[in-house]
Amino acid sequence: MTQQQAQKRVAAQHEDLADKLNWLRAGVLGANDGIVSTAGLVLGVVGATDNHTAILVAGVAGLVSGALSMAAGEYVSVSTQRDTERAAVKHEAAELHQKPSAELTELTDILEAKGLNRGIAFEAARELTRQNALAAHAEMELGIRLGSYTNPWQAAIASAISFSLGALVPLLSVLMATAQNALWVTVLAVAIALSITGYTSAKLGHAPTRPATWRNVAGGLLAMLVTYGIGRLIGSQFLG
């Protein structure tokens, strides 16, 4: 294996690792959304009634609708991103065909801006162009790796699964607890789950973990407090 091939292999491994970390972080954030939204929903119902059937229906409906909403949103978002990337690559291919000299100069400028002197940048640009001009321009100019477009179906399914897993925490907590302690059991379970997702997302993003964890837990507790209060208000007014 030549040095150039080894460098390409290392770069590809780094990009694959970055992609996996991004997917993992997105999954953690999706689970976080499922925890907060479903916790707010079920505790809103708990505030209004202690009927477990009503709580179950509301929780399951929230889980299913939330998961489908996340999946649909992610599918549309990733599909749009993929179409935009493909259009950009197609446009770059047309420019390479129409004005190769100008594109070679542009690639040289990019490499020079990265710290190479003009002569070395030009030679590197020529070598990259000779090997695969479109791949070089797509990566250097657009930040796109040819053939590595995100699959919208994978993104949609991953979002739905991560949301559902997160939503199960408050739903199962409130259903497994007795009517007398359902509120506190759910709050405790959700606080623990949010501390885990907050810490994990901060760790994956190389951010300070303590403030991120506290913000995540505080935001979830506030959401539960508000919805529970609204449920109590509505329950006292309309359910006697």
Distance CA 153, CA 181 (A): 40
Q: What is the DSSP letter of 177?
A: S
For the segment 120-129, the average pLDDT, to the nearest whole number, is 85
In sequence order, which residues have a C-beta less than 8 Å from that of residue 187 and are 6 or more positions away?
43, 221, 224
What pLDDT is recorded for position 188?
A: 93
Q: Is 209 helix (H, G, I), strand (E, B) or coil?
A: helix
- Give residue 214's pLDDT band: very low, low, confident or very high (50, 70, 90): very high
Residue 137, pLDDT > 50, answer: yes
Residue 215, pLDDT > 60, answer: yes
Q: Is 203 exposed, middle or buried (0-12, 13-18, 19+ CB in 10 A)?
A: middle
Distance CA 23, CA 33 (A): 15
- Give residue 23's pLDDT band: very low, low, confident or very high (50, 70, 90): low
Distance CA 120, CA 221 (A): 57
Kindly calculate the radius of gyration of the chain based on its CA atoms and give it in whole angstroms.
25
Query: Over the chain, what is the mean pLDDT?
Result: 83
Lowest mean pLDDT among 8-22, 51-65, 149-163, 213-227: 8-22
- Whole-number Cα distances in Å, 125 to 89, 103, 143, 166, 191: 18, 10, 16, 48, 53
E-state strands within the chain: none
Which residue is it, tokens 């913000």? 215
Q: Are 204 and 19 in contact (CB under 8 A)?
A: no
Amino acid at 141: E
Domain ranges of the chain: 32-235
For the segment 111-118, the average pLDDT, to the nearest whole number, is 84
- Give me the count of residues in the chain: 240
Phi-psi region of 115 (alpha: psi -120 to 50; beta: other; left: phi over 0): left
Q: Are 154 and 19 in contact (CB under 8 A)?
A: no
Q: Please state, as a whole number, how many other Cβ atoms lie within 10 Å of the Cβ of residue 101.
A: 7
Q: Is 95 helix (H, G, I), strand (E, B) or coil?
A: helix
The predicted-structure confidence for 167-192, as pLDDT tens digits, reads as follows 999 999 988 888 778 889 999 999 99
